[in-house]
Structures are given as structure tokens and as C-alpha cells.
Amino acid sequence: MDNQYENMLKSKMSEASYQKLTALKNPKLIEFVGFFAEHCEPASIYVCDDSETDTQYVRDQALAKGEEQVLAHSQQTIHWDGYGDQGRDKNGTRFMVYKENLESMKALNSIEYEEGYAEIMSISKGIMKGKDAVVQFFSEGPTESPFTIPCIQFTDSWYVAHSEFILYRSAYSHFMKMKDSEKGDFFRFIHSAGVLDANNCTKNLDKRRIYMDTQNNIVYSMNNQYAGNSIGLKKHSMRLAINKSGKEGWLCEHMFVMAAVDNEKKRKTYFCGAYPSACGKTSTAMIPGEKIVGDDIAYFRNINGEFRAVNVEFGMFGIIQDVNSKDDPLIFENLMKNQEIIFSNVLMGPDRKPYWLGMGVEAPTEGRNHFGDWKKGATDSKGKEVSLAHGNARYTMRLDYLANIDKEGFEAKNGVMVEGILYGGRDSDTTVPVEESPSWKDGILLKAATLESETTSATLGAEGVRTPSPMANMDFVSYPLGQYTINNINFGEGVKKTPKIFSNNYFMRNPEGKFMTSKLAKKVWLHWAEGRIHGEYETYETPTGKIPQYQDLKALFKKHLNEDFSEADYVYLFTFRCGKWIEKLERTKAFYIKVDPNTPKELFAYWDAAIEKIRMAKDTFGDQIKPGSFKG
């Protein structure tokens, strides 16, 4: 034990907590806890192990300190974040980068290391005074597996601590079993909600900072409570893992892991999928009749030549707006049960039940929400009407509550073997609903790197604007985008059986502006892809891949949805639009140049060749190439 911190830690910990910490015999871990105990000055520190006793203590403290309140269902609680702290703080989230690397990282919202360190140390000095803190041990991925990344969280928010016990696998026992050579290799997170106001919400939002040190695998998160800013193991850890994977030859991706199930053929095929926000990611992972492993973050490793994946998390931190019994029956059913769930930034009605936007039930006209005491028609300080719940309101829930959990894949230490990758964007007039890539490299450069999300006038006031989102991961990529793209190519080409890559677009509109298919059609696109993986279905060629033939989709619509699918709709949906695709590729090139001027030239050479191929197709077959007309 380092005498530098021994007496100080003993003064802030019970004998039981102190013994739990020192029993790990990990000098780097004790240095981390000791340094921030001295620097942030909490009144006390509670150290958790994997026991239900400690988990219950954290739950109780979240209630006792007013960070959560019990709802009508006794196991459900509600938490509110303060106004202005209800979404990810992109401006306040920065990478602390050594001077020699600053130029290559400047497009990724970086700050010079010494400047960032001085600022965050100043902000965090004494930030926990008078508050009780907690130390927890977790694992990214299953414990004691090739995927495991051990993590330690030090926070003064018991809501954050409670959330993490739901969202991640407790790993005190894993830390106990770590060999001496492994004891320095873990992620560290230090968080403080800072000074709280009368509503127990963060007060000093002007000093909100989330600073990431990927060189030393530590994240400093100060003056915030919203889980996307405060929960270290989620997107903060993801940024550290992306950087670590880039150095070590594996991948961390913003992807679900799920299985398409064909009961007639008694087979289960694992897919992973990346979709920008509001492009169908969660709804694809939760398609009725299929199996889910995870909904948000996946690690990929080459294990004995196989492309294998794990869900990093144990729970879900999901957007609750528009979750209702019709569109998301499996999730909605669980939200109605008396089981451990944290609702955040929704309305607590007079009946102490939670209500949110798009819930599909009649809501009360008064109650308490993120605004405080609320009545319909209430306005904020700027005169804007406050809705009953926030648009980014969330639920925090264990994944294994879901009836469609794939228990085998969820607990597999070596992950699941992935056979298909889905990349889905949102546009109204370019990308077909499902298309198979000719090869892994083509898939990364034509499907993943070109991902975009199209805005709608109803939500953002500028209809048709395409926001680039390569791999649906731009908010979290923590080293230059060009090299990250190359690493994706190299990893997939380095396994014995490379998964097939498919693109998705659920948002094609007809000339009148109406969506061409229902939300349920994604089940058809998934099962066509599943069939292709197993050598079923003939295809038509396009300049960018392979598309379904009409008779196969007609049969799949009837089988899975009991719907008729017209040939006219098929032709419109699967027509290849040359001009639109050229524009899309040019936007991709421009975005890569902007974000990473040092993107390898071979990527631009590939896209230029693809553009030329499409131009030649346009000259031969016309701007709009109907299915079956293209001959490559």
C-alpha cells in the first residue's frame, strides 16, 4: 500500500471499503482512487464489490439523496436531469492530445494535452466537497474472456452508480483474478455532478467538461448528470476502446448484435448493424420473432480465424420517445412491469406513473418532470412551451428482461460468429432498401463510409439535408478517420470467413412524399439478407452491388407479413439512380477531406473509380436503371 494515500483513504472509508480496495493488490488502481480522493475531496468513499448487498446499497442511496424517486411500481424509479443537461455535450467533449498528434486530431474536437489537463484539474479541484462518493468495478464485455476490458468508476452521483449496475457487468471478482501483468490495463473514469441546485440537478453547466485521455485510458467528466455525459462505461469507454482497438488490431463499433431466426430451417444467423440516430437501429435489433444480443456497442475480434462479436453492455439506455405497444411491443411490455427500471426526463403523473411523448396512452395534464412542477401549457424562461417529457428522455433497463434475448449469445465468453453486417442510413431518393456488397472492402467503402442521415422539415426545419455519418460512428471515432476506415477493411479481410455486408434504407419515399413501405418491412429485408448468406436467392447486379429479385421479395412479404408486395413498388424501390449515387460519393469524398486531410489516397482512388463506373453505366443504361437492366 502506498503510504502517500493510506491515512487519507482510511479516514474517508469504512474498514470494509478499505479492505475491499486493498485486497485487489493493484498499485495503479490505488493510485487512481487515492489521487482523486485527495484532489476532489469527497466526505466519504464507498467501495463496491459484486454483491447484491452493495448493489442494493447504491439503489438505496440514490433514493435517499433524492437523485431518484420511487414510482407506482415499487421497483421502478425516476430521475430528472436539469435544463440544459439532457443530451450529449458535443462541444464540451474533447480529446486531450499530445502536441505531436494534435494536427491529425484537430477535426475531432481536441485540446492540447497540457492545456486540457490544467483546465480539468482546476475544475475538479474540491468538486466533491461535502458529498459521498462511490467506487465500482465493471467489465466491458463478459468477464474473464478475450473481449474483457476492466473498468473502474469513481463518482459522486448515486444515480450514475445505480445506472451502471444495470447497464454493465460487475467485475470486482475479475479484478481480483487479474495477473500482475494485467493490473495496469484498465479504463478509469472520474465523474462528479458538481454543485447541485434545489432540484438535485447540476448547477454549474458552464463548467461542464468531458475530457478524454486516450493515451492513458482515463476520462474526466465534470458538472453533468445526463447519462450520455456522466456514465463512463458507455460512449466515453467506447472512445477509449476505439483508440485501443486501432492500435491492437480489433474493432469497437457502434453496432447492435442480433440473430435472424429461421424456424423452418432451424437456423440462427448472427448480424451486427450500424445506423445513425433515427435510422432504425434499435427497431432492427428488436424485430419481432428475431433474437437480440445487444442494441448499441459491439467489440469484434478474430478468434481462431472467426469474425466474432460480443455485446459490450448488460443493459439498455434507450430513447423512450415513441416507444408504444404498436411499434415497440417487446420494450413497451417491459416498461409496464414492476421490475428495476430507471426512467429519466419523463413526466411523473399524479398517479406516480411515468408518461412520455408518443407513448400511445392519454397522459395527465399535470405532474412533475424535468421542468419541475408542470402543467400543460407551462412555458420556460424563454417563453417556449414545455412538453410533458423531454424529446431525449430515456429508460435504463437490463437486456435479459426481454423475452427475445438470445441467452446463448448474450453470455458467450468468446462471443458469437458474425455472418452479416448491416449499414443503414436515411434518404428519400437514393439508396435501395437492401443491397448486398460484392466484397468486404466494397462494403466498407460503398456502404459504411457513405452512410448519411437525411433531415426532415418537421424536426429540423431544413428538409433533405444529408448529414455524413461514416460507420454511424463519427461522434466516437477517436483517431483519424482514414486510418479507422483502413483498419475496418483490414480486420474483415483478415478472418477466414468474412461476413457479407448489406446496406439498408427504410425511408425511400414515392413522388408524393409518402414512405414506400411500413416499419415492419425491415423483417423482409433482413430475411432476404439471411437467405443470401446461406446461398439462397438469385440477384440482379447494380453498379454498387446485388439486389433482390421480385419473386423472392413477394414471397417473403407474404410469408413474414402476410402482405402483398406489388411489382410496381419493387421497381420503384430498387431502381438504381446514377446521378444521386454520384452525388453521394462526391459528398463522401468531401467529408473525408474535411475531417481527415491525411486520408490515404487509395480510398479516394477507389471512390473515383466507383464514380467512373456509375458514369459509364449512366451513359449506357440511362440515369435510372431498373432492376435487371444493368449488365456490369
551: enclosing H helix or E strand:
helix 550-561
User: How far is 189 from 376, CA to CA, in rounded Å?
Assistant: 40
Pairwise CA distance, residues 270 & 309, whole Å: 9
Cα distance between residue 234 and residue 424, in whole Å: 22
Q: How far apart are CA 169 and CA 154, in angstroms?
A: 16
Residue that is written with C-alpha cell 433514493 in the block:
63
Burial, 181: exposed, middle or buried (Cβ in 10 Å; 0-12, 13-18, 19+)? exposed
The residues, any chain, with a CB within 8 Å of residue 369's CB and separated by 6 or more, are: 80, 345, 346, 347, 348, 386, 388, 389, 390
Q: Is 279 a catalytic residue?
A: yes
Diameter over CA atoms, the chain: 80
Q: Please state the three-class secondary structure of 225-264 as a single string.
A: CCHHHHCHHHHHHHHHHHHHHHHHCCEEECCEEEEEEECC
Q: How far is CA 52 from the centre of its chain?
A: 27
Among 47, 189, 196, residue whose Cα is nearest residue 129: 196
Lookup result for grid cell 430498387:
574
**Which grid cell sits at 166?**
444495470
Q: Please give the sequence-ordered ranges of beta strands (E in DSSP) within 171-249, or none if there are none.
A: 187-192, 209-213, 218-222
Is the torsion defined by CA of 263, 267, 268, 271 positive or negative?
negative
Residue of 573, 626, 547, 287 whose CA lies nearest to 428: 573
The size of the chain, in residues, is 632
Q: How far apart (Å, rounded) are the C-alpha atoms in residues 355 and 257?
A: 29
The answer to whether 483 and 242 have CB atoms below 8 angstroms apart is: no
Pairing of strands 169-170, 209-213: unpaired
Grid cell listed for 57? 446499497
Question: What is the Cα–Cα distance from 516 to 522, expressed in whole angstroms?
Answer: 12
Cβ atoms within 10 Å, residue 514: 7
Residue 585, C-alpha cell as written in the block: 460519393
Are the beta carbons of 522 and 332 closer than 8 angstroms?
no
Residues 307, 421: contact at Cβ < 8 Å? no
Rounded distance between C-alpha atoms, residue 241 and residue 229, angstroms: 17
- Residue 546 C-alpha from the chain's centroid: 29
**What are 591's three cell numbers?**
467529408
Catalytic residue among 48, 201, 279, 578: 279
- Which secondary-structure segment (H or E) carries 260? strand 256-262
- The CA distance from 317 to 595, in Å, is 29
C-alpha 399/C-alpha 393 separation (Å) is 18
Helix (H) / strand (E) containing 61: helix 52-64
Q: Which of the residues are catalytic?
A: 279
